[in-house]
Chain A
Amino acid sequence: MKRREFIELSSNSIGGLLIYSLAGVPIVANAQQGKVKVPLRFFTEPEAKVVVAACERIFPANESGPGATQAGVVVYIDRQLAGPYGTDKYRYTRPPFVESAPGHGYQGKENPQEIYWAGIRRLGIDFVKLNGAKQDERLSAIEQTYFFQLLRQHTIEGMFCDPMHGGNAGLIGWRMLGYPGPQMSFRAQIGKYNGVAYRPRPQSLEEILGSPVKPWEDEALG
């Protein structure tokens, strides 16, 4: 087992509770603490920092709301990669691996862990030291790669996933969209809000069920 590594994230921007449901032990951090240390399952700290910086360029905090860093997107990606998805436990991986028409999707041999390892090295461990414009240049240079497609897709997933997956911390992404989360019923509302936004307070799956749910990536943790 590798040495336990941590990533430090700011918890002061979302003005309330920031909940990272970690391996069995939820950590509750409040705004006063300023920073929260999240244990990593897959990335090393320098790798995680590259991912934080890259995701922030893909989905930056700006005038329309918070970005990838505040939502904890890196935590989401770290856990996905450490889970069954990261090692292709649920992909057809028999050879031969032959490239084909785009409709077939990714046909490569490398699993998501390997794709991230290579992709992060291509961005450069010095990526975090560059200014925004230089970082965008490096990202633009790999825009057509499968790694970038994954990184972009995972960033959106980490922004708007249920917080049990480690992203969308404090429901920050859902609040930005006005998405209420997985509610038990809209029967009273259906057909009634015609062109008018219905925006109840968002709730996580755990909140509406009243009990925790074990996400797939936690399966291996026992």
Chain B
Amino acid sequence: MELLAPVDVVIVGSGWSGMIMAKEIASRTTLSVLVLERGGPFRGLGAYAAEMDEVDTFIRTRQAPNPADGTFTTRASHMDRANPIRQPRFPAAGTGMGGSSDHWGATSPRLLPEAFQIATHLKELHGAAKLPANNTIQDYGITWKDIEPYYTRVEEMMGTCGKAGNLNGKKIKGGNIFEGPRSKEFPNPPHPMPYAPQLFAKAAKQLGYHPFPMPSSTLSQNYTSPDGVSRIGCQYCGHCSFFGCMVGAKASPNFTLLPLLESKGNFSVRTYCQVRRIAHKGRRATGVTYVDASGKEFMQPAETVVLAAWVFNNARLLMLSGIGEQYDPVTGKGTLGKNPTYAVQAGLDFFLDKPQNNFMGSGGLAMGIGEFGGDLGAEGAGQGAFRGGLIFSYAQGSPPVISAFGMVPEQEARKNWGSQWKNAAIKWNDRSSTILSTGNHFPYRQNYLDLDPTYTDRWGDPLLRVTLDWTDAERRQSSFILKKQVEIAKAMGATGIILRSGTGAAPLMVSTHSHGGAIMGTSPETSVVNSYLQHWQMPNLWVVGGSALPQGEEHLTLTVAALAYRAADAFIDRYVKRPGALA
């Protein structure tokens, strides 16, 4: 193993979390900052244009991490045997500069204020006994006041577009009147709305709801951020979620942060570096060890280690490094690997009798309603459903053609192949739409992450084993939301509705909306990191990213990015001056 020259800060991963930390530290201090990225360099806008190919980019997941190098194993319960996800169904996790933050859909709502004190809130509202059995909900350790300024900073960096529904407590028609009070209007106006979201808004209004344009961090117009980074508006090309943006309109660390860092002498990045361990001695991380593309091993010493890998990989790296106590679902002891969640999905596809031009759009282009975005009130509680999610109608554009083809009303074809099916599929092609919701997912005692005893990656390290399933509470919540969605679809003029069967199958929950495993909280007894995302046992180790979220929720990228800014401020303004545990 080659010993390298030490740096002040080594950052593992170049997604939103890693790059926000890198940009803040490298521009506000003189510390040397090194980012290690397992994938390749930023490929550039021209490459993204050439990747507008559904077969290679979406179906074969050409730009995603190679599953042959390593994957995750999953199972529904600790009684089952775990199997590997041998081939993900779409490119959920990312690799290369920007990580998954480079091909997200850019749907950008904030969480609701009470979400940060979810345990306190729900116990006050319903009493602990009424809540789903074996839940392990807990507060984040911060309040709305702590996070709101950081949400604003994220929106300005990304150029998020939308319309405020609650500006400093004043409710504003046309925005989401159920959102938490925001201190500033969105930096950009909403996108123009295509036909299906327009129909959704009309139908929602008829039903007494308050539709609003979903916040999206793809630009609706040309924009220059407070950092001085200029980008052009979205072209609605329809190759958005799971694709890199060929014009730079979709917020990505490669467009909003990397340009600010490239000229800085104290910043450097090394690509094709797979970090395998966090080295440590006593209560200090001493650096990281990694292998490069040729398989050569290196030890990179550092004063501070920032772990910002893909969500569950943060927990895995801590486990492989032997840092922290593994969570045990039987005794409830240990914190590492605790509270993995996945936003509870509910949705339906439906047919409309007019062409939709579904191939145009943008990943976060949608109209939504906020009535069921938080507490489900007495109606929900009566059905054993406590928290929901925003309900919305997307015009995402992607995947544009192959994966969108073949859905037909049940009565029109007996089989899913042959002449009759083909006729129906051609007839109904581009005459369907979807209503979706991604919402609350309670953490449970029996859901957890640990290292797999059987399967290993290409370097011989155990894969992460994900034990995760829905309970009846998630099925009740999903069915509550589905009923509301069906009412809206009918009011939109749906001629046929296909329910997306709600499922908590574990393999499907290692994907775009995974959270937890190295959670934040108020005490080392119940969490891995403090509210600044600093490791409780190792003050010079910061574990930043979706791994910190103790609860599954609505689209969380904005929250993840806001927490990263908060961590960066704490590190720069407090830790650097007086290194030690922050309280």
Measured CB to CB, the residues of A under 8 A from B are 57-60, 62-65, 67, 85, 88-94, 96, 98, 100-101, 103-107, 136, 139, 143, 152, 155-157, 159-162, 164-165, 174, 176-180, 182-187, 189-198, 205, 209, 213, 215-216
**Would you call A57 and B418 a contact (CB within 8 A)?**
yes
Binds A, one of B21-29, B187-195, B275-283: B187-195
Beyond the given A65-B426, A103-B506, please list 5 additional residue pairs across the A-B interface where CB-CB is below 8 A. Answer: A179-B401, A179-B430, A182-B400, A195-B355, A197-B355
| A105 neighbours in B (Cβ, 8 Å) | 85-87, 89, 507
A215: contacting residue among B55, B237, B356, B416, CB under 8 A:
B55
Q: Closest 6 CB pairs between A and B?
A: A191-B192, A103-B505, A195-B354, A182-B52, A185-B235, A197-B355
Also in contact, A165 and B61, with CB within 8 A (given A184-B237, A187-B234, A190-B194):
no
A60: contacting residue among B194, B415, B419, CB under 8 A:
B419
Also in contact, A91 and B357, with CB within 8 A (given A85-B60, A205-B53, A216-B62):
no
Binds A, one of B63-71, B127-135, B308-316, B540-548: B63-71
Return the chain A residue nearest B197 by Cβ: A191
Q: How far is the CA of A177 from the CA of B308 in the complex (A)?
A: 43
Also in contact, A157 and B402, with CB within 8 A (given A103-B508, A187-B234):
yes
Q: How far is the CA of A202 from the CA of B68 in the complex (A)?
A: 36
**Would you call A104 and B60 a contact (CB within 8 A)?**
no
Task: Answer whether residue B233 sits at the interface, using C-beta atoms and an 8 A cutoff.
Answer: yes
B548 → A minimal CB distance (Å)? 27
Return the chain B residue nearest A182 by Cβ: B52
**Would you call B419 and A160 a contact (CB within 8 A)?**
no
B468 → A minimal CB distance (Å)? 11
| A104 neighbours in B (Cβ, 8 Å) | 74, 83-86, 507
| B400 neighbours in A (Cβ, 8 Å) | 179, 182
Also in contact, A193 and B357, with CB within 8 A (given A59-B417, A160-B401):
yes
A106: contacting residue among B61, B87, B401, CB under 8 A:
B87
Also in contact, A184 and B53, with CB within 8 A (given A60-B418, A60-B419):
no
Q: How far is the CA of A62 from the CA of B86 in the complex (A)?
A: 38
> SS class of chain B's interface: helix, strand, loop or mixed?
loop
* A-B pairs with beta carbons under 8 Å apart, 21 shown: A59-B422, A91-B86, A91-B87, A94-B455, A101-B83, A103-B503, A103-B508, A104-B84, A104-B85, A105-B87, A136-B418, A177-B401, A182-B53, A185-B236, A185-B237, A186-B238, A187-B233, A190-B360, A191-B192, A193-B355, A216-B56
Residue among A100, A184, A186 facing the most chain B CB atoms (10 A cut-off): A186
| B237 neighbours in A (Cβ, 8 Å) | 182-186
Task: Answer whether residue B76 sits at the interface, using C-beta atoms and an 8 A cutoff.
Answer: yes
Q: How far is the CA of A197 from the CA of B84 in the complex (A)?
A: 43
Task: Answer whether residue B78 sits at the interface, using C-beta atoms and an 8 A cutoff.
Answer: no
**Would you call A63 and B423 a contact (CB within 8 A)?**
yes
| A88 neighbours in B (Cβ, 8 Å) | 68
**Would you call A152 and B508 a contact (CB within 8 A)?**
no
Q: How far is the CA of A162 from the CA of B455 in the complex (A)?
A: 37
**Would you call A106 and B194 a contact (CB within 8 A)?**
no
B423 → A minimal CB distance (Å)? 5
| B360 neighbours in A (Cβ, 8 Å) | 186, 189-190, 198
**Would you call B50 and A213 a contact (CB within 8 A)?**
yes
Task: Answer whether residue B459 sits at the interface, using C-beta atoms and an 8 A cutoff.
Answer: no
Return the chain B residue nearest A84 by Cβ: B60
**Would you call B50 and A205 a contact (CB within 8 A)?**
yes
Task: Answer whether residue B239 sits at the interface, using C-beta atoms and an 8 A cutoff.
Answer: yes
**Would you call A90 and B423 a contact (CB within 8 A)?**
no
